[in-house]
Amino acid sequence: MRSNVKRRLTIAASVVGVAIAAIGVAHAPFARSLLMSMGGCPMAGARMTPVESESARRMALSAIPATVSVPAPARPALGFSLDTTSPEDVRAWAKRERVDCKEAREGLIKCPDVRPEALGLPAAQGRIDELSLEFNRQGRLVNTTSYRSHLSPASAAREAHAIVGPLVDKLGPAEKHAGDFDAAQLGASGAASISTAMYRFTDYVADVTAMNTRSNGLAILEHYMSARD
């Protein structure tokens, strides 16, 4: 059920292009990139091989043109280091923080019910239902994803702003976005509830999407991906 909701969250984000156009920002590639990034992110599922996952990640990157032609000033990834963190590092972290992580398949580690403090994040960001960490064939982290669900409009707005605020501090304003993560919008139904922000540098992709779903209520998806070869 949870994986289906996460997929619907991302698929529904394809209508973000319409929402953005309505506010005067042409942004069709962003909606495509959300869909494509799901092929390369951990939530693509446990059936993908590392080779298939890496191919999907490269496809996603080719579909997301960089908005700036420089490397990111920082590459936040839920407390981990893209292109550096190894599965062994994650296992050591999980043991230290008493987080129950499982290897869903080769190159993919999933950790349920993660408190933000375990990741060095502020408590205001809220507890994570599922953390997914995906590694390339060299055993280096290239994708991190977090998913939160069953949130009230007020808590979703609070947690989303606590997530997006530090990104703005580190990376500047998102050039591609829709909505403003406020409780009024998030409390709407379906596509009308979507708020999203995305960054694309030459070496890094980050996006945050919040949406009100029928089965699991308000959900927030974070996705951070290395754009290095």
Summarize pLDDT for 1-51 with one digit per residue, the tens: 555 554 444 443 333 333 332 222 222 233 333 433 333 344 444 566 666
If you ran DSSP here, which 8-state letter would residue 168 be given? H
Three-class secondary structure of residue 200 per DSSP = strand
**Percentage of the chain lying above the pLDDT 90 cut:** 61
Q: Where are the alpha helices (DSSP H) in the chain?
A: 2-12, 16-22, 28-40, 50-62, 87-97, 153-171, 183-186
The span from the CA of 12 to the CA of 14, in Å, is: 5
Q: What confidence tens digit (pLDDT) does each residue in 100-150 have? A: 999 998 899 999 999 999 999 999 999 999 999 999 999 999 999 999 999
Query: Tokens 């991302």 label which residue?
Result: 10
Domain count, the chain: 1
Label residue 164 by pLDDT band (50, 70, 90). very high
Range of the domain at 209: 2-226
Lowest mean pLDDT, pick from 4-18, 37-51, 155-169, 208-222: 4-18
